[in-house]
Structure 1
Amino acid sequence: MSNLVARLTNPNILALKPYESARRLYSGGQDWLNANESPYNNPYSIDDSRLNRYPACQPENVIEAYAAYAGLDTNQVLVTRGADEGIELLIRAFCEPQKTHIMICPPTYGMYAISAETCNVNVVSVPQTADFELDLPAMQANANNVSVVFICSPNNPTGNTVAQAQIEAALELFANRALVVVDEAYIEFAYADNWAVKLAQYPHLVVLRTLSKAFALAGLRCGFTLASKEVIDTLLKVIAPYPIAEPVAQIAAQALAPNPLKRMQQQVAEISSQREWLCTALQAFSDVEIVGDQRANFILFRTANKDALMTYLVSEGMLIRDQSKQLHLANCLRISVGTQSQNERLISLMKQFYQAEDVA
């Protein structure tokens, strides 16, 4: 049977390495600071009277609520199973296998490349500069046959927002050539830099959003693709018949109501305050160098003792994320901002580690 599976598996899938999500890497731990999840757990209710019926493909109350939140028309909004489904739909709808390409700018979110490879679509990698800015000349030099360009801002895992002038330059470069997708999974932590407000100006601009981060709903798997009506109509041709489960739609609509929106904004402010405290505490270690910027709900740092520190923290049930395999990120670890007690425990464990290693 295994030989049959190997023979039948598409060649582009045989060599594909799956995305190493936080839950695949670790199945247990006391403090989960490795997946950029919110530390908050908010209450919601479910009406079970319609669970025997298939849900709407695009629940109107969810679309209307998110359109109002983003300041858009309802025909500019698509709700998906997390922003990850939005990534895949864009590649399936606008890229031709083995002919056209996507462009990514590492270090960045790994699912862009994995989704493309799954669809047998080529990936053009144009690394960011050492200062984590777009390399626009290199993007221009590699623009042939590119159908979709992915730009993550705020970027995971560096925490940088891409400067407005750089995204504008990328939009000009790919005008009438490719879709430019700005992934704003963390935008609530830097909302002044959001690009949804520019959709009318740039018809080839697409924005990805999610309820996983600031809205504290990672377990819901609910994301949004914001784009022109023409792009949304095309994506509706390839989306699954019933992508959003009824309980998901109910909770998403509740989360986008006025009072929960205010609660989300308050929680974002608290996470941002804790992020600043954590950043200051980390800088007290001589072996720690803060890397990138802090415009999301995580901090990236470099330490020469990366492997030993990671092993020690895991042994204590404190889970953070190793990002050292990414370009420009040798010896880098990423910490999701947790509750005050989690953050204090992390710093306490790091103090114990560095004292044992005789590093101040």
Structure 2
Amino acid sequence: MTIASLSRKNIQTLTPYQSARKLGGKGTIWLNANEYPRSPQFRLSGKDLNRYPEPQPQAVVRGYANYAGVAPENVLVTRGGDEGIELLIRAFCEPGRDAILFCPPTYGMYAVSAETADVACKTVPLTADFQLNLAEIKKRLAEVKVVFLCSPNNPTGNLLKRSDLLELLQITQGKAIVVVDEAYIEFCPEASLVNELKNYPHLAIIRTLSKAFALAGLRCGFVLANPPLIQTLSKVIAPYPIPVPSADIAEQALQADNIALVQTRTSEILANRQWLAQALADLAQVEKVYPSEANYLLIKCLDGEALFNALWAQGIILRDQHKALNLQNCIRITVGTQEENQKVVEAILALSRD
């Protein structure tokens, strides 16, 4: 009898999510995790650490509610957006009976979180232009309790059509929770569905401070939803999920002066993205640069694996997507500083000359 054999059967066969850090690499340029290239400067306030934190840090709840344009009762603070995914599955899906549905290629943690909880996964691939196949989704909704959608989608970078999202919300009323993952929404804020919360009690929106707020190391995320849904999630969240230092920094990050700085940094990333997209499109090894509304670009190469490995060997760490559905020869590149972007382009150009 081994430890592995004592674990649940679904865990024995589970393929864990391969995070950017788990994949490793000895990089001098890290453009594989959609992080902001520089860290903001915050100081811990010296709050007492001998006491447990608030179950929900109220200053953070109020700060994010004000930022997102919702009421505090519409906000649940989580350990990154990933915990929000897990809570939604645990709260609404019966293990061994219910299913989630998602549309690959998309964020891998939807599948991993469901499989960990012994919840079935139904998939409806995105169309050739990375949009929802609503006709097929409608056919596959039996036993589905939670639908996960990512917009802007990771790793493709595009927005899902708002009209399709609203139609899906109408189709699923009274049947399933629809989760729209808006981890990258700061790069296209006009596309948020937050204003639709009042119209759809089964809509949940996932947000994070990891991307535009440049706080990936903080592990602070949010679920935005109507109070009954938030109350349901509150039943299954850990009693003290947000450490005092994390809440301390998150509270500072949501102050008006830092939000203004986030908007400035976002504009810088968008300008760098435009330059990088054009520069990559001019390279012989790059077959296509897909349009993006996020802080990364998906590119299709003549030989994506060879290019990825060659850059990896030089310490330029990107994200290989060749195993993702319909993304053969594709690489995802986080938009970095102008200097980092220039080095990526120069390295690919040098490979073309070899």
TM-score by length of 1: 0.97
Q: Distance in 2 between matches of 1:272 and 1:336?
A: 12
Runs of 4+ aligned structure 1 residues displaced above 3 Å come to none
Match of 2:39 among 33, 38, 41: 41
Match of 1:323 among 321, 324, 336: 321
* 1:59, distance to aligned residue in structure 2 (A): 0.4
The AA in structure 2 aligned to 1:264 is V
The AA in structure 2 aligned to 1:162 is L
Q: Distance in 2 between matches of 1:76 and 1:273?
A: 33
In 2, are the aligned partners of 1:290 and 1:299 still within 8 Å (CA)? no
Q: What residue is the counterpart of 2:156 in the other structure?
A: 158
| Deviating more after overlay: 22-31 vs 125-134 | 22-31
Specify the SS of the correspondent of 1:50: coil
RMSD (Å), alpha carbons: 0.9
Q: Distance in 1 between matches of 2:24 and 2:99?
A: 33
* 1:73, distance to aligned residue in structure 2 (A): 0.7
Aligned residues: 354
Unaligned residue ranges in structure 1 (runs of 5+): none
Match of 1:313 among 291, 311, 314: 311
Task: After superposition, give the CA deviation of every residue in 1:297-340 in whole Å (9 maximum; x if it has no partner).
Answer: 00001112212211111111100000111111111001000001
* 1:265 and 2:263 correspond: yes
Q: How does 1:42-61 map to 2 (within 5 A)?
A: 42-61=40-59
* 1:48, distance to aligned residue in structure 2 (A): 2.4
Q: Distance in 1 between matches of 2:77 and 2:322?
A: 33
Q: What residue is the counterpart of 2:169 in the other structure?
A: 171
Q: Distance in 2 between matches of 1:82 and 1:349?
A: 34
Match of 1:219 among 211, 217, 220: 217
* 1:287, distance to aligned residue in structure 2 (A): 2.9
In 2, are the aligned partners of 1:57 and 1:242 still within 8 Å (CA)? yes
* 1:6, distance to aligned residue in structure 2 (A): 2.4
Q: Distance in 1 between matches of 2:290 and 2:310?
A: 24
TM-score by length of 2: 0.99
The AA in structure 2 aligned to 1:178 is A
Specify the SS of the correspondent of 1:49: coil
* 1:27, distance to aligned residue in structure 2 (A): 4.4
* 1:50, distance to aligned residue in structure 2 (A): 1.0
Match of 1:347 among 317, 335, 345: 345
In 2, are the aligned partners of 1:36 and 1:213 still within 8 Å (CA)? yes
* 1:283, distance to aligned residue in structure 2 (A): 0.5
In 1, are the aligned partners of 2:305 and 2:322 still within 8 Å (CA)? no
In 2, are the aligned partners of 1:99 and 1:121 still within 8 Å (CA)? yes
Task: After superposition, give the CA deviation of every residue in 1:89-131 in whole Å (9 maximum; x if it has no partner).
Answer: 0000000001111000000000000000000000001111111
Q: Distance in 2 between matches of 1:117 and 1:275?
A: 35
Q: What residue is the counterpart of 2:5 in the other structure?
A: 7
Q: What residue is the counterpart of 1:67 in the other structure?
A: 65
Q: Distance in 2 between matches of 1:278 and 1:226?
A: 33
Q: Distance in 2 between matches of 1:268 and 1:256?
A: 15
In 2, are the aligned partners of 1:190 and 1:296 still within 8 Å (CA)? yes
In 1, are the aligned partners of 2:81 and 2:221 still within 8 Å (CA)? yes
Q: How does 1:1-360 map to 2 (within 5 A)?
A: 3-356=1-354
Task: After superposition, give the CA deviation of every residue in 1:14-42 in whole Å (9 maximum; x if it has no partner).
Answer: 01011011111114310100000001211
Q: Distance in 2 between matches of 1:159 and 1:310?
A: 19
The AA in structure 1 aligned to 2:258 is P
In 1, are the aligned partners of 2:84 and 2:221 still within 8 Å (CA)? yes
Q: Distance in 2 between matches of 1:55 and 1:132?
A: 42
Q: Distance in 2 between matches of 1:307 and 1:237?
A: 45
Task: After superposition, give the CA deviation of every residue in 1:190-215 in whole Å (9 maximum; x if it has no partner).
Answer: 10000111100111110000000000
Q: Distance in 2 between matches of 1:336 and 1:35?
A: 7
| Deviating more after overlay: 259-268 vs 47-56 | 47-56
Q: Distance in 2 between matches of 1:173 and 1:304?
A: 40
* 1:273, distance to aligned residue in structure 2 (A): 0.4
Q: Distance in 2 between matches of 1:231 and 1:310?
A: 42
Specify the SS of the correspondent of 1:7: helix
Q: Distance in 2 between matches of 1:190 and 1:153?
A: 10
Unaligned residue ranges in structure 2 (runs of 5+): none
The AA in structure 2 aligned to 1:97 is P
In 2, are the aligned partners of 1:79 and 1:225 still within 8 Å (CA)? yes
The AA in structure 2 aligned to 1:244 is I
Q: Distance in 1 between matches of 2:90 and 2:346?
A: 47
